[in-house]
A and B are shown apart, each in its own frame.
Chain A
Amino acid sequence: MLQAHSFLWNYLWVAPNVYLFILALLLCKRGFVRVSPAFLAFAFVSALAEIAAFLADVIPSVSPENFWRVIWVGLLAESLLKFLILGDVFSRVFAPYGSIARTGKRLVGGFGGLLVLVSGVVAGFGQGDNINVIVSGAHLLEQTVFIIESGLIIFLFLFAAYFRLEWDRLSFGILLGLGISSCEHLATWAIIANASPSEHVRTLFAFLNMATYHLSVLIWVFYLLVPGRVVAKSAVPLPENNLAVWNRELERLLQQ
């Protein structure tokens, strides 16, 4: 069952991308292009790139070099779009609050720069798991992208948590799917790119990666298509308490 090109393998490679493509079509119909064009572009491009990679893998006439070229093109396009999505989410969550928007932008820029530097150093120290540069390069690029991506996602979650900002359902769902996928992929690509695991372990990692991506797509379907629970909120007046009285009494006591 856990063999390359088994039924489960083919399902996990193709199905999430078909679901993602259908999700993109449904979102398009709902006018989502005005809400988050970056995610819509990512959904279309990522689904098509992965299906193209699958076809390149199963069609015998496609050479291994061409298969890896297809992987590279998809990887570069997906990576660029993922960072656009993160920028999009940042704008939607933080831009309405002028007091922290600029600070947030500076911090994200600085932290992003630091992550690029760190991931570059990590890639530089990476051993490379294949003598073919096109293969090991793709693995190192995956690792680099996932370091930056997961770092930025954690930063956004921390930033919002510190300021106690509420997430809108859309931004949270997108970031949650990307976050889970990027963390799991980072762990597996770090091992693949640096620890030269056996072929069997690589296959297991491929299953894990595909299953996690499938989960992420389902998370996006849930958050973007299923309407959120509407919680009835009532206006709450700011409360009065007697701490002021206590403070006055204590001050009087101290002044005696």
Chain B
Amino acid sequence: MILAIFLVIFAVLALVFILRITVTRALEVSGSGDVAPKIEPIDIEAFRNLVNAAESEYLYRRLPAPEFRRVQRERLRAAAAYIRVASHNASLLVMIGQAALAVGDAKTADAARQLVDSALLLRRNAALAMFRIYLAMAWPQSSLSATPVLQGYERLSSSAMLLGRLQNPAVPVRISVRS
């Protein structure tokens, strides 16, 4: 009987989730014009510093262990915030890229496809990096590498610039403060 109750609860929740997605999709108007202003620029250099292994190593050698753990957790928290924004930007760029795929000429479509692919890769890497950051927060001494996210974001930035230039050559486009 407990099994039955558990399965019924799962089925009801799954059904609600599916219906919610259906309603959301039905209400969704092509809103790429609305999402573009929501892109937040990120200081990639600051993020680079936060996840710099040499910097962590330096702090580890200079600070007492409890102080290092506290500082390292702060740095990781900040890095996580950067990654969240980068991931959010990537999701907006997926939407813009998909909209561009539907209307663009062959050249724009190519750039849009490249943008979507890079943005999806960043979303994937961001999810993995967040997982690693939370692990590292539990064990601040463990090594942490967010390099794939960084590289993904830099690639994404150049793809977005290419697509922006193709769609509107007059308007300069940047999604990071420095790239």
Chain B residues lying within 8 Å of A190, measured Cβ to Cβ, are: 3-4, 7-8, 11
Q: Tell me how far the C-beta of B90 lies from the nearest C-beta in chain A, rounded to whole angstroms.
A: 9
Residues of A in contact, count (CB < 8 Å): 49
Highest count of chain A CB atoms <10 Å: which of B10, B29, B118:
B10
B150: Cβ under 8 A from any A Cβ: no
Given contact pairs A162-B123, A165-B94, A186 touches B10 in the complex (Cβ within 8 A): yes
Query: Which of B10, B12, B91, B177 makes the CB contact (< 8 A) with A244?
Result: B177
Cβ of B94 and Cβ of A150 under 8 Å apart?
no
* Of A26-34, A79-87, A176-184, the one touching chain B: A176-184
Query: Which of B39, B100, B124, B167 makes the CB contact (< 8 A) with A99?
Result: B124
A120: Cβ under 8 A from any B Cβ: no
How far apart are the CA atoms of A251 and B146 in the complex, in Å? 23
Q: Mark A170-210, 1 if CB is under 8 A from B, else 0.
A: 00100010011001101100110111000000000000000
Cβ of B3 and Cβ of A164 under 8 Å apart?
no
* Of B17-25, B63-71, B75-83, the one touching chain A: B17-25
Interface residues on B, range: 35 or more
Q: How many A-B residue pairs have CB under 8 A?
A: 147
Cβ of B103 and Cβ of A180 under 8 Å apart?
no
Query: Which of A103, A147, A154, A238 makes the CB contact (< 8 A) with B160?
Result: A238
Given contact pairs A236-B32, A240-B172, A240-B173, A125 touches B3 in the complex (Cβ within 8 A): yes
Those 10 A-B pairs whose CB atoms lie nearest each other, nearest first: A237-B168, A190-B7, A99-B121, A238-B164, A187-B11, A194-B4, A183-B15, A239-B36, A238-B173, A186-B11
A-B pairs with beta carbons under 8 Å apart, 10 shown? A100-B120, A100-B123, A165-B120, A183-B15, A187-B8, A190-B3, A234-B103, A235-B103, A236-B100, A241-B37
